[in-house]
Amino acid sequence: MQQEGKRTFQPDELAERARRHAQQSRQSLQVAARLAELFPQVLKSIKKSANCKGAQADRVALTHPDYAAKLDQYIAVLGEGLEARVQYETHRMMLQAWQSQNAFHRAFDRLKIQDKRKIMESQGR
């Protein structure tokens, strides 16, 4: 993962990125949940085809290439979902920081204008 350095984002761009990452996270995590629900069925079908009983059937099923492939797929999709969630949170925090900084600068500018008026009034007297 490569950092973008000191690039500044506009608030609309931050909001759009946050929305896009939230949507991607939601979709990936839904797919991961569906894949996780399939694990018992996959294990059961592999055990049946193994023609073994008990712990030996469990070992065969858990080490079977099909089960390993499903597990790898689940891990990849879950990882994508979690990474997108982190990106969503990061962009949301950046947007909130921008909003806070913007509000601070507006308030500070109002104070400067009020101070200038007070100085002008005191000089005019």
Report if residue 26 sits inside a domain. yes
Radius of gyration of the chain (CA): 28
Residues spanned by the domain of 57: 11-93
Report if residue 122 sits inside a domain. no
Report if residue 124 sits inside a domain. no
Report if residue 53 sits inside a domain. yes
Total count of domains within the chain: 1
CA distance 61 to 45: 9
Q: What is the mean pLDDT of residues 95-115?
A: 86
Report if residue 111 sits inside a domain. no
Q: Are 31 and 84 in contact (CB under 8 A)?
A: no
Report if residue 37 sits inside a domain. yes
Give tens-digit pLDDT for 7-18.
Answer: 777 889 989 999
Report if residue 121 sits inside a domain. no
Report if residue 3 sits inside a domain. no
Phi, psi of 36 (to 5 degrees): -65, -35
Give tens-digit pLDDT for 33-55.
Answer: 999 999 999 999 999 898 888 89
Give tens-digit pLDDT for 69-92.
Answer: 999 999 999 999 999 999 999 999
